[in-house]
Amino acid sequence: MKLYDLELSGNCYKVRLFASLIHLDLEIIPVNFLEGEHKAEPLLTLNPFGELPIFIDGEIILRDSQSILIYLAGKYAGEAWWPTTPHLQAEVAQWLFTAANEIQHGPCSARLVDLFNYSLDKNLALAKSTKVLTIINQHLEHREWLATKRPTIADIAVFPYIALAHEGGIDMSDYTNINRWMNSIKALDGFLAMPGI
């Protein structure tokens, strides 16, 4: 299994983190992001969106970090991380979509501005961050994990850009339930760090 990877990308990191948690070996292929290797061939054929990560397992090519988590959990980790019962699966899925939308356009975008000089609306990203972080902090008031009674790929998908939010200038100190939840993730057997976390 190969992962076309950028070390500083939270989306790439969520795949590395989950692989580490389920004790799966990935061949990491670093991509020269600054030179736009991901926006040129041959990578552009593997992912026409011109983004990372890109994941390859034999004939299977996947382009989206949440979808890669779904694949790895379903194929190599089983029921616990990605339930097959429809209502539990949908509970987990809700947070995968929150990662792909509200987290991506909130804390992730704020960090892209501060760390990589992306031309995005920082104030909009901060407003979206406050909204989604407040909701998640409230959601975790009486819960240890986001979706079920144990960690799932929902937690893995949402964690990276919240743990990196301080790099976008977001003060996390008041989100006490989120901080407790982040510590629970960091305490998981097989946890893997990245720069900034």
Q: How far is the CB of 186 from a copy of itself (least distance, A)?
A: 26
Nearest to a copy of itself of 131, 186 (CB atom): 131
Alpha helices in the chain (DSSP H): 10-21, 43-46, 65-72, 86-98, 109-116, 122-139, 153-163, 176-186
CA distance 53 to 29: 10
Q: Is 58 helix (H, G, I), strand (E, B) or coil?
A: coil
By CB under 8 A, is residue 105 in contact with a copy of itself? yes
By CB under 8 A, is residue 155 in contact with a copy of itself? no
Q: Which amino acid is residue 68, in one-letter code?
A: I
Nearest to a copy of itself of 52, 62 (CB atom): 62
Tell me if the bond preceding 83 is cis, omega within 30° of 0: no
By CB under 8 A, is residue 123 in contact with a copy of itself? no
Q: What is the strand order of the sheet 54-57 is part of?
A: 27-30, 2-5, 54-57, 60-62
By CB under 8 A, is residue 173 in contact with a copy of itself? no
Q: How far is the CB of 65 from a copy of itself (least distance, A)?
A: 9
Q: Calculate helix-pair angle for 10-21, 153-163, nearest 10 degrees.
A: 140
Q: How far is the CB of 18 from a copy of itself (least distance, A)?
A: 13
Q: How far is the CB of 80 from a copy of itself (least distance, A)?
A: 15
Contacts with a copy of itself, 73-102, as mask; x by CB under 8 A: -xx--------x-xx-xxx-xx-xxx-xxx
Single residue of 60, 80, 127, 193 touching a copy of itself by CB under 8 A? 60
Nearest to a copy of itself of 37, 91 (CB atom): 91
Q: How far is the CB of 152 from a copy of itself (least distance, A)?
A: 13
The answer to whether 176 touches 105, Cβ cutoff 8 Å, is: no
